[in-house]
A = this chain, B = another copy of it.
C-alpha cells in the first residue's frame, strides 16, 4: 500500500509517492501559482498525484492516504487553510476539495510542523521525544515537538519562534515588531550583516570574495573566516551569537533533548553545529545540573516536509 506527500511551497509544490516502508518510489513537482483559484490548484495537485501513481503502474485504490504540507495557518481538524500569506489562500477547504478526486484519508499540516515531524520519524531526530527544529533561511522557521506531540496552538499555525524579540527596539521585522530573532539570525540577516561589513572594510578578504563572486550570500562570511579573515570571523561570531541567544531562549522554554538545525546556513555542517552546541551548553538554564541538549544538523533537508506528510499517517 502507498501514500502520497505533497509539500506546497510558495514557488513550487513537491510530490512524493511512498511505499509503506517509507521509501520514495516516485517524485513530481508543479509550479505553485499564488493567487490562483484554489479549485484550479487542487485540480493540478490531483494531476500530479495521478501522474506519480501511473508512473508506478498504480491506481487510486492502491493509495492509503494523502498528506499535504502547507505554509501558513492550518485548521488540521477541519482540513482548512485558515490563512496563507505565501500562496494567498484564506479559509480554503482544501481537504474537502481534494476528496472530490480521491476517496482516501487526506490530512494537512503546517509545513514547518510537518518538517519536524518528518525529522522525528525519518531523519535526524529518530527516537527523540522532545525536539526543537529551527531553519535558518529566508526567515527563521521553528517546529517543536514536546513529549512526542507537535506544538500546534489554537490557530494551528505552528510555533512562530522566529518572531521573538531578542533585542528591544532593534531591527524592524516584517511582522511589525522590532528586534525579532529572525531579523538577526536568519540567512537574510546574515547577508545584511555581511554587506555592512563589506562596505565598512573594503580591503578585507571578505570584501574581496564578495567582489570576485559578484554577490553576497549566506556563505560569504563563513568562506572569509575559513581563509583567516578577521572581518569574516567577526561577522560570523556575531551572527552565531544571535542564532545562539534565540535558540537558548527556546531551549529554556522547551528543555528539548535535541535541537535540529536546517535551512541554507546549516550547510556549514559539523563545524557550525559544534559552535552552536558550545553556546547552548554554556548559556542554557540550569547551572551545572542541566541536562545536555544535543545540537545536530537536520538531515532530510528539502524532503523533511514530504516525509512529514507521510508521518501524519503514523501519528494515529
Contact status B286-A151, CB under 8 Å: no
Which residues of chain B have C-beta atoms less than 8 A from A159's C-beta? 252-255
Interface residues on chain A, size class: 35 or more
Contact status A146-B155, CB under 8 Å: no
Contact status A73-B289, CB under 8 Å: yes
Pick from B147, B242, B256: contact of A149, CB under 8 Å = B147
A124 to chain B, nearest CB (A): 17
Binds B, one of A42-50, A161-169, A186-194: A161-169
- Bound Cα distance A245, B17 (Å): 44
A11 to chain B, nearest CB (A): 21
Q: Which of A129-180 contact B (CB under 8 A)?
A: 129-130, 142, 144, 146-147, 149, 151-157, 159-161, 163-168, 170, 175-177
Closest residue of chain B to A144, judged by CB?
Answer: B253
Which residues of chain B have C-beta atoms less than 8 A from A146's C-beta? 146, 149, 151-153
Q: Does A257 contact B (CB under 8 A)?
A: yes
- Bound Cα distance A149, B148 (Å): 11
Q: Does A52 contact B (CB under 8 A)?
A: no
Number of chain copies forming the complex: 2
Which residues of chain B have C-beta atoms less than 8 A from A254's C-beta? 151, 153, 159
Classify the secondary structure of A's interface with B: loop
Contact status B153-A249, CB under 8 Å: no
Closest residue of chain B to A181, judged by CB?
Answer: B249
Closest residue of chain B to A162, judged by CB?
Answer: B252
Q: Does A291 contact B (CB under 8 A)?
A: yes
Q: Which of A237-267 contact B (CB under 8 A)?
A: 242, 245-246, 248-250, 252-257
Contact status A176-B283, CB under 8 Å: yes
Which residues of chain B have C-beta atoms less than 8 A from A152's C-beta? 146-147, 255
The chain A residues found within 8 Å of chain B, CB to CB, are 73, 82-83, 85, 90, 129-130, 142, 144, 146-147, 149, 151-157, 159-161, 163-168, 170, 175-177, 242, 245-246, 248-250, 252-257, 283, 285-287, 289-291, 293
- Which 9 pairs, one residue from A and one from B, show the smallest C-beta to C-beta distance? A153-B255, A164-B249, A83-B289, A160-B252, A160-B285, A163-B252, A167-B168, A159-B253, A163-B285
Interface contacts beyond A146-B152, A154-B291: sample of 7 additional A-B pairs, CB < 8 Å, sorted by A: A73-B289, A83-B286, A142-B253, A161-B253, A168-B242, A168-B245, A177-B245
